[in-house]
Amino acid sequence: QSVLTQPPSESGTPGQRVTISCSGSSSNIGSRTVNWYQHLPGTAPKLLIYNNNQRPSGVPDRFSGSKSGTSASLAISGLQSEDESDYYCAAWDDSLNGVMFGGGTKLTVL
Protein backbone atom coordinates (compact mmCIF):
# COMPACT_ATOMS: atom_id res chain seq x y z
CA GLN A 1 0.00 0.00 0.00
CA SER A 2 1.45 3.35 -1.09
CA VAL A 3 2.00 6.23 1.30
CA LEU A 4 0.46 8.50 -1.34
CA THR A 5 -3.03 7.44 -2.41
CA GLN A 6 -4.26 7.80 -5.97
CA PRO A 7 -7.37 6.37 -7.65
CA PRO A 8 -6.39 3.29 -9.67
CA SER A 9 -8.19 4.56 -12.75
CA GLU A 10 -9.87 7.56 -14.29
CA SER A 11 -11.43 8.09 -17.70
CA GLY A 12 -12.72 10.84 -19.93
CA THR A 13 -13.74 11.62 -23.46
CA PRO A 14 -11.73 13.75 -25.91
CA GLY A 15 -11.97 17.44 -25.05
CA GLN A 16 -13.08 16.78 -21.50
CA ARG A 17 -11.28 17.90 -18.33
CA VAL A 18 -10.18 15.23 -15.88
CA THR A 19 -8.49 15.46 -12.51
CA ILE A 20 -6.34 12.91 -10.70
CA SER A 21 -6.08 13.18 -6.94
CA CYS A 22 -3.16 12.33 -4.66
CA SER A 23 -3.69 12.12 -0.93
CA GLY A 24 -0.86 12.08 1.58
CA SER A 25 -0.01 13.26 5.06
CA SER A 26 1.80 15.95 7.00
CA SER A 27 5.14 14.19 6.56
CA ASN A 28 5.02 14.29 2.77
CA ILE A 29 2.56 16.43 0.80
CA GLY A 30 1.76 18.54 3.84
CA SER A 31 5.36 19.74 4.16
CA ARG A 32 6.94 19.05 0.78
CA THR A 33 6.38 19.84 -2.86
CA VAL A 34 4.59 17.43 -5.19
CA ASN A 35 5.73 16.23 -8.59
CA TRP A 36 3.72 14.45 -11.26
CA TYR A 37 4.97 11.97 -13.84
CA GLN A 38 3.45 10.46 -16.96
CA HIS A 39 4.49 6.92 -17.80
CA LEU A 40 3.61 4.74 -20.73
CA PRO A 41 4.81 1.24 -19.79
CA GLY A 42 7.88 0.28 -21.76
CA THR A 43 9.02 3.86 -22.16
CA ALA A 44 10.92 6.36 -20.02
CA PRO A 45 8.70 8.20 -17.50
CA LYS A 46 8.26 11.92 -18.10
CA LEU A 47 8.14 14.79 -15.61
CA LEU A 48 4.85 16.65 -16.07
CA ILE A 49 4.63 18.95 -13.06
CA TYR A 50 7.21 19.89 -10.42
CA ASN A 51 7.05 22.05 -7.32
CA ASN A 52 3.26 21.50 -7.10
CA ASN A 53 2.29 23.52 -10.16
CA GLN A 54 5.29 24.22 -12.40
CA ARG A 55 5.47 22.83 -15.92
CA PRO A 56 8.82 21.87 -17.44
CA SER A 57 9.57 23.30 -20.85
CA GLY A 58 7.67 21.41 -23.53
CA VAL A 59 4.77 20.25 -21.37
CA PRO A 60 1.49 21.63 -22.77
CA ASP A 61 -0.45 24.06 -20.60
CA ARG A 62 -3.36 21.60 -20.72
CA PHE A 63 -1.61 20.00 -17.75
CA SER A 64 -1.80 21.78 -14.42
CA GLY A 65 -1.08 20.91 -10.82
CA SER A 66 -2.31 22.14 -7.47
CA LYS A 67 -1.82 21.38 -3.80
CA SER A 68 -3.88 22.07 -0.71
CA GLY A 69 -2.93 20.80 2.72
CA THR A 70 -2.06 17.12 2.45
CA SER A 71 -3.61 16.59 -0.97
CA ALA A 72 -2.61 17.40 -4.52
CA SER A 73 -4.27 17.19 -7.91
CA LEU A 74 -3.29 16.93 -11.54
CA ALA A 75 -5.75 18.38 -14.02
CA ILE A 76 -5.76 17.65 -17.72
CA SER A 77 -7.97 19.83 -19.87
CA GLY A 78 -8.86 19.33 -23.52
CA LEU A 79 -8.23 15.60 -23.15
CA GLN A 80 -6.53 13.98 -26.13
CA SER A 81 -6.08 10.35 -27.08
CA GLU A 82 -2.33 10.60 -26.56
CA ASP A 83 -2.95 11.45 -22.89
CA GLU A 84 -3.89 7.83 -22.28
CA SER A 85 -1.15 6.74 -19.90
CA ASP A 86 -0.28 6.04 -16.26
CA TYR A 87 0.13 9.06 -13.98
CA TYR A 88 2.05 9.15 -10.70
CA CYS A 89 2.37 11.73 -7.96
CA ALA A 90 5.54 11.81 -5.85
CA ALA A 91 6.86 13.66 -2.83
CA TRP A 92 9.66 13.39 -0.30
CA ASP A 93 8.54 11.89 3.00
CA ASP A 94 10.29 13.25 6.09
CA SER A 95 9.30 10.29 8.27
CA LEU A 96 10.51 7.64 5.85
CA ASN A 97 13.42 9.81 4.66
CA GLY A 98 12.84 8.99 1.03
CA VAL A 99 10.80 9.69 -2.08
CA MET A 100 7.31 8.27 -2.15
CA PHE A 101 5.34 7.59 -5.30
CA GLY A 102 1.60 7.22 -5.40
CA GLY A 103 0.26 3.91 -6.62
CA GLY A 104 -0.45 5.36 -10.05
CA THR A 105 -3.61 6.20 -11.95
CA LYS A 106 -4.38 4.66 -15.32
CA LEU A 107 -6.08 7.25 -17.49
CA THR A 108 -8.28 5.95 -20.28
CA VAL A 109 -9.51 8.20 -23.07
CA LEU A 110 -12.83 6.79 -24.19
Using CB under 8 A as the binding criterion, the count of chain residues that bind other proteins stands at 27
Q: By C-beta, is 13 or 57 nearer to other proteins? A: 57
Q: By C-beta, is 13 or 106 nearer to other proteins? A: 106
Q: Using the rule CB under 8 A, is 22 a contact of other proteins?
A: no
> Least CB distance from residue 88 to other proteins, whole Å?
5
Q: By C-beta, is 1 or 13 nearer to other proteins? A: 1
For residues 75-93, b (16+ Cβ closer than 10 Å) or e, as one string?
ebeebeeebebbbbbbbbb
List the one residue out of 108, 75, 103, 106 whose CA is nearest residue 90.
Answer: 103
